[in-house]
Amino acid sequence: MASAKTDQTEALFSLESYHVSEELGFILPDPLQELPPYYQPWMDIALKIPELAQSHELRSRINKMPLLSSKFLQKHKELRLAHLALTMMTMGYVWEEGEKDTVEILPRSLAVPYWEVSQRLGLPPIITHADAVLANWKRKDPDGNLELLVSLPGGESARGFFLVTLLVELAGVPAVKNIPTVINGVRCGDTEAVARGLEIISRSIEDMTDALKLMQVHVDPSVFYGIMRIYLSGWKDNPCMPNGLVYEGVQAAPMRYSGGSAAQSSLLHCFDELLGVKHDPKSASFLIYMRDYMPPLHKKLINDISLQPSLRSFVQQQDCKDLNNVFDLCVKKLLALRSYHINVVSRFITVPAARARQLRDQNHNSDGEMISRAPTALEERGTGGSNKRYIAVRGKQRNKTSQLNCHHRGTASHANQIKPPEKSTLMTFRTISLIFKRIAFGRMKARGLF
């Protein structure tokens, strides 16, 4: 009997082998703030990217940078900080002069170590959610308030964009932690465990939506659209760089990579696989492609969740109203999160794009308007140059998700009724306080986060 019990314990689904933190989920715990002294030339430039880009000196500084070997980077956190620094330098180098003066070749001193570090981490040599958000934070004081390690042009809006996105990840931690509870409950036929896990996941997804609402307070849409967005853009399916980018010293042919995108967050992918969300073929293909921009173990977790016994089928087979209701609630909260994200896309991309077109059509002298600086080739594309189709995916998912469960009752009809809260409410940081209380993230004080 003891042996059988041991075998059963070993078979339990766990997050231990996926680089998922019990306290921080997919976020890298306590990222390094410094590299070994040998790599100081990288950090000297990376920490000054906004200033150097504004003065149009970034490319010249990188062109003078020595070629350093990556072999002295031994630990995972060293590799992550190196990748972050090289990533931000690359984005700054390519887009310093906007769409009018892009480059075709990334210099050897940047391209070679960037490629080597990328290969060791299993990440692409371009900005990803794993870099700019998951590994790009530090506590700025003993109370645990947050600051970025490395930033891009955009001032306080850039800072707010990355930190709010980090808060969305933090809000999702309880959900990630309870995925094994749900999976193991399904395996064992424990309806109470499944219902308990789904209830926590539902609350966590709601907290993610609340955290996302902070974007409207801490990010200026004109700054995001006019300055920041191009620095998140890639060189795949991008009219500004139709041929891609040559990584000098790596290979002669240009390479094409997509830029940073919310679709690279592992959270929603995990929820989709757990709840059995199905997308149309084109949308599904894009989302699966985005998994190549995640840390390999996070991608593996998503795949392994997809291989588990069907939660949806389990719920449908149970004669348990409470279980059906909590499953439906999870679907409803996920639908609400995606619906609110559509609002964010509209506010930060669609509306500014329309304003930019209006200014051009009127031959308006718009030098004073921030959105006039935005590249025309990227109008109505998502962060990282995501095409219109992905923005549309969000809309399609609302209806698709509402049809997941035969027990589902009326959630779709309320999806578009989500409205951004008043600014005065958001500025109290009450939402952040609730998030931190739930995940027990040290003694972090919400008021000083930004």
Model confidence at 424: pLDDT above 80 = no
Task: Please check the confidence at residue 434 and state whether its pLDDT lies above 60.
Answer: no
Predicted confidence (pLDDT) at residue 131 exceeds the cutoff of 60 = yes
Tell me the pLDDT band of 81, cut-offs 50, 70 and 90: very high
Please give the structure tokens belonging to residue 72.
Answer: 């002295």
Of residues 222 and 391, the one with the higher pLDDT is: 222
Question: What's the CA angle centered on 424, arms 146 and 225, to 5 degrees?
Answer: 65
In which band, very low, low, confident or very high, does the pLDDT at 357 lie, cut at 50, 70 and 90? Answer: confident
Q: What is the mean pLDDT of residues 148-173?
A: 97
State the chain's maximal CA–CA distance in angstroms. 82
Instruction: Over range 266-285, report the average pLDDT.
Output: 93
Mean pLDDT, all residues of the chain: 84
Full domain range(s) for residue 401? 37-448
Give the whole-angstrom CA distance, residue 437 versus residue 441: 7
In a domain, 127, yes or no: yes
The answer to whether residue 27 is domain-embedded is no
pLDDT confidence tier of residue 383, bands split at 50, 70 and 90: low
> For residue 35, what is the DSSP state?
-
Q: Which residue has the higher pLDDT, 427 or 313?
A: 313
**Residue 96: its pLDDT value, please?**
96
Query: Does residue 341 have a known ligand-binding role?
Result: yes
- Burial label for 366, CB within 10 Å (0-12, 13-18, 19+), is middle
pLDDT at residue 373, rounded to an integer: 64
Task: Report, as an integer, the average pLDDT of 305-323.
Answer: 95
Q: Is residue 88 part of a domain?
A: yes
d(CA 220, CA 233): 18
Does residue 351 belong to any structural domain of this protein? yes
Calculate mean pLDDT across residues 178-202: 98
Residue 180 falls inside a structural domain: yes
User: pLDDT at position 402, please?
Assistant: 38
Task: Please list the residues that pair with 138 across neighbouring strands.
Answer: 147
Band (99; pLDDT cuts 50, 70, 90):
confident
Mean pLDDT throughout 53-67? 98
Sorting pLDDT into bands at 50, 70 and 90, what band is 430? very low
Q: Does 225 score more than 70 pLDDT?
A: yes
Residue 40 has pLDDT above 70, yes or no: yes
pLDDT greater than 60 at residue 125: yes
Residue 140's pLDDT is what?
82
Q: DSSP character for 29?
A: S
pLDDT band, residue 376 (cuts 50/70/90): low
What are the residues whose beta carbons fall under 8 Å from the beta carbon of 189, sequence distance 6 or more? none
Q: Which residues contact 398 (CB under 8 A, 6 or more apart)?
A: 335, 338, 339, 342, 412, 415, 416
CB 172 within 8 Å of CB 269: no
pLDDT value of position 407: 40
Alpha-carbon distance 170 to 28, whole Å?
Answer: 11
Q: Is the pLDDT of residue 127 over 50?
A: yes
Tell me, yes or no, whether 3 lies in a domain. Answer: no
- 86/35 Cα distance (integer angstroms): 12
pLDDT beyond 70 at 369: no
Return the pLDDT at 11.
73
What is the band of 21 on the pLDDT scale with cuts at 50, 70, 90? very high
Q: What is the mean pLDDT of residues 335-348?
A: 91
pLDDT band for 436, please (50, 70, 90 cuts): very low
pLDDT exceeds cutoff 80 at 135: yes
Residue 317 confidence (pLDDT) = 95
Q: How many domains does the chain have?
A: 1
d(CA 236, CA 148) in angstroms, rounded, equals 27
What three-state secondary structure class fits 146? strand
What pLDDT score does 428 carry? 31
pLDDT tier for residue 339 given thresholds of 50, 70 and 90: very high
Of the ranges 158-167, 353-362, 396-405, 421-430, which one carries the lowest mean pLDDT score?
421-430
User: Is 11 inside a domain boundary?
Assistant: no
CATH assignment of the domain containing 96: 1.20.58.480
Q: What is the mean pLDDT of residues 191-197?
A: 98
How much is the pLDDT for 37?
98
Q: Is residue 147 part of a domain?
A: yes
pLDDT mean over 404-408: 41
Residue 208 clears pLDDT 60, i.e. is over it: yes
Give the pLDDT of residue 267: 98
Model confidence at 399: pLDDT above 70: no
Contacts of 27 (CB under 8 A, 6+ apart): 21, 133, 134, 137, 166, 169, 170, 173
More confident residue, 320 or 383: 320
If pLDDT is split at 50, 70 and 90, which confidence band does 66 have? very high
Other beta carbons less than 10 A from residue 322's beta carbon: 12
Q: Which residue has the higher pLDDT, 423 or 98?
A: 98
Q: What is the pLDDT of residue 425?
A: 31
